[in-house]
Structure 1
């Protein structure tokens, strides 16, 4: 790569009258003859490409030795030099270089490939390896929008009612339009106890809703399990982090001691995580030697990953998936379905069929980029299509109701989509408002007062603050109690246990 630059380009143009440049193709030298001035040349060490350019001066004739020819970068360096010499303000070289890398990454139009600043890279590593502070939601950039993949179980995001596919349009009034997911994470995260207000647009609703959330510690506890009766256990895996396979093995051993004879493995709203963990966990349920997945590179070369287990577990299994099940959770679901004949129950999964790797730079910034696509054991690519369950079961309609802003006051004569959501929530938990059209009348007021009295809240008939939060909390409990997907999975499992 040739980089020839004068320290004061403007003065050189005024002083010299003749310049001849000759490139010797055999030797790789560029000879520049200049008259009437002494030209000072400098060399640049290009850390990102390993290219070094040396400049040597011999009186009036200058000989520049070019280490490596990279003509595709000529335009990039010309743009850099133009800005460096001609921009009306002093330039931040580091900022320009970071911007150039970020621009290359964005040109790929791949929501899973990101350049991360030092701060963004720290957030990325902490979300995989340890606890962090924030709202607790996996997000991605999709079609130019920042979209929720899944809220983390027990997180402030889940408690606030965020759902997969919710679009975050702004944070504290700042638009996220055009941001990468890494840039958005930096804005959304913050110290425990601080408040952040998200503007959420839920698909199928007309108006966006402002959702205030108090940030908290988000521990990376990824395995939750309990006995649900009749020798059946339910284990939920919320993501695939560093110790997930180890924690799952311990939980299964614990549940077997409690009498587990069948297992419902819940992968709903699991946004994925580490490939190695997905392979380790899949190996717990797929017979040894049978395929877990295939990874195909850009040249079409395929690497197969067989199970390392000694055989099937000694209990029947059913797996739950939904539209928030993505990436590594889809690897696991596809592996047990196609290589172990396990039934899948729920809704079609998210559909992420690519593999990413991350590379740290010396300054601790990072690039996460797509390296391959993964295929199911039968060679299916589920990208943007998802995995269709054997038995499709939706949750009740009220499980997808729009969230309500607790800071907004809903009272007599109010009319809005949030009032409509509140009316449907009240009816679902047993406080019939008499109507569900979004107009807050006397019957709605009476339903709110009854709900407040039943929950030891001031019975003023106004829905705001603690009353709104309690209403959404009670709805979430109702969804868990009337979990139609889990009920169907248990039913299927009982048939297999006979």
Structure 2
């Protein structure tokens, strides 16, 4: 039985979990009741459905439906029953590498939009571009498909061929791309150096705590130390969590050996102290540290924040974190699926349970409206008098850019048209009274450029300013 303590907030959240697992094989002899569990009432309900229901009687679906249904009573969104396919997807989400084409996709307005292909991936080499809309996979249309169904279509064996048909708004045409699935290395840690007032500040971003995250962290941070950084900013904004062993290894490079970084509490209330264990001297233990977090920082990200905060090792900058204070263990089942069950609470070094509360930032900083707005890739044409989410999005962005927009409810009124005209004039777009493909694409580029400039990231700027102030004291 594989048993991993997983701090994972919802990389593939499913509906529910079960306390027990039901299974059976074959059909009952005619005239006899089936026994699919040791519970009489469950067996009664099962037999009634099998005999009387006019809809699906697939035995596997009935059993899995019973499992998922019983889970509702737990009211725990972090415990769940995973089918074989869902279990494999969860494991690959935290693995070092996976087979695929290497592309980040978002669903917007019922359309599947390419955010970006991974550099040197099959998708990248085939010419897939940001903002491409995927409309067919191997000739199969994606109309009414879910993201899970699209992922299934894109999955396959290494070396197998794949044909994508995409609509490219920048060229106003459909493009057919051919590629072969390959092994995609997944990197969870990135770093860079920011020079400010004669000081070198290392910035390390952790996207998730996967299998190799600790190794990536060590490689990246040791390189930063060799470059002579004076301070370190650790960015876990939007990080949903991951493996305990990964975050504990990272904490070990920042705290003295033997420091308590968390507690585990089982269902009987028994506490287990978790301390750092590092064979080497913690090489980052004297570097000033700031940790950036937001409402999307959950689970293992909060373990890191709690450890650094309670040990007075870092200044926490940003917003209150998500608030997930439970630990899950996964148990394989004979049908290929798995049960992911909440088995422990975890507490901060000061024995605080942050579940549904989160960890408050020491320095609370909210981003401005434009920097914090979610990227959306809209298409179509809209004119005066139209109403829709696309118009509402444009109104929000224009307001964030400083244009005079009186309403942001999605109704295309005269005031909105005036702001659109001024935006067109400023960005040297062709005069047009409509919101069209060219307008949406230009607006997307504007937002991307705005977010890419570090001076617009107020949380990062506050973190860097704090480190500079601390260094100059």
TM-score scaled by structure 2? 0.71
Alignment partner of 1:102 is 2:68: yes
Aligned to 1:179: none
CA distance in 2, matches of 1:488, 1:272: 24
Aligned to 1:465: 437
CA distance in 2, matches of 1:433, 1:463: 16
SS in 2 for 1:119: helix
Mapping 1:160-171, distance limit 5 Å: none
Displacement of 1:195: 7.9
Aligned to 1:35: none
Match of 1:447 among 412, 422, 441: 422
| CA 486–236 in structure 1, closer or farther in 2 if over 3 Å, else same | same
Tell me whether 483-492 or 217-226 shows the greater mean CA deviation.
217-226
Aligned to 1:396: 368
CA distance in 2, matches of 1:43, 1:416: 53
| CA 394–330 in structure 1, closer or farther in 2 if over 3 Å, else same | same
Aligned to 2:447: 475
Mapping 1:111-150, distance limit 5 Å: 111-129=77-95, 130-131=97-98, 135=104
| CA 153–381 in structure 1, closer or farther in 2 if over 3 Å, else same | farther
Aligned to 2:206: 237
CA distance in 2, matches of 1:89, 1:418: 40
Aligned to 1:276: 245
Aligned to 2:231: 262
Tell me whether 249-258 or 401-410 shows the greater mean CA deviation.
401-410
Q: Is the contact made by 1:452 and 1:459 (CA closer than 8 Å) also made in structure 2?
A: no
Alignment partner of 1:326 is 2:298: yes
SS in 1 for 2:311: helix
Displacement of 1:87: 4.6
Mapping 1:22-33, distance limit 5 Å: none
| CA 428–98 in structure 1, closer or farther in 2 if over 3 Å, else same | closer
Q: Is the contact made by 1:448 and 1:463 (CA closer than 8 Å) also made in structure 2?
A: no
Aligned to 1:8: 30
Displacement of 1:303: 1.3
Q: Is the contact made by 1:290 and 1:306 (CA closer than 8 Å) also made in structure 2?
A: yes
Displacement of 1:418: 4.2
SS in 1 for 2:468: helix
Displacement of 1:428: 4.3
Q: Is the contact made by 1:223 and 1:248 (CA closer than 8 Å) also made in structure 2?
A: yes
Match of 1:74 among 40, 53, 67: 40
CA distance in 2, matches of 1:154, 1:313: 34
Mapping 1:247-258, distance limit 5 Å: 247-258=216-227
Aligned to 1:371: 343
Displacement of 1:8: 2.6
CA distance in 1, matches of 2:147, 2:200: 42
Match of 1:291 among 245, 260, 263: 260
**Bigger RCO (CA 8 Å, 6+ sep):** 2
Q: Is the contact made by 2:251 and 2:261 (CA closer than 8 Å) also made in structure 1?
A: yes
Alignment partner of 1:343 is 2:311: no
| CA 379–136 in structure 1, closer or farther in 2 if over 3 Å, else same | farther
Alignment partner of 1:437 is 2:407: yes
In the comparison of the two structures, how many residue pairs are matched?
A: 384
Alignment partner of 1:314 is 2:314: no
Displacement of 1:384: 0.6
SS in 1 for 2:241: coil
| CA 136–347 in structure 1, closer or farther in 2 if over 3 Å, else same | farther
Gaps of 5+ in 2: 1-23, 108-114, 124-129, 132-141, 155-163, 168-180
CA-atom RMSD in angstroms: 3.7
CA distance in 2, matches of 1:88, 1:472: 50
CA distance in 1, matches of 2:28, 2:382: 67
| CA 472–6 in structure 1, closer or farther in 2 if over 3 Å, else same | closer
CA offsets, 1:379-408, max 9 Å, x none?
A: 001011100011101101223446656124
Q: Is the contact made by 1:396 and 1:479 (CA closer than 8 Å) also made in structure 2?
A: no
CA offsets, 1:285-313, max 9 Å, x none?
A: 12111111111111111111101134452
TM-score scaled by structure 1? 0.68
Displacement of 1:189: 3.4
Displacement of 1:81: 3.1
Gaps of 5+ in 1: 10-40, 50-69, 139-150, 161-170, 175-183, 197-215
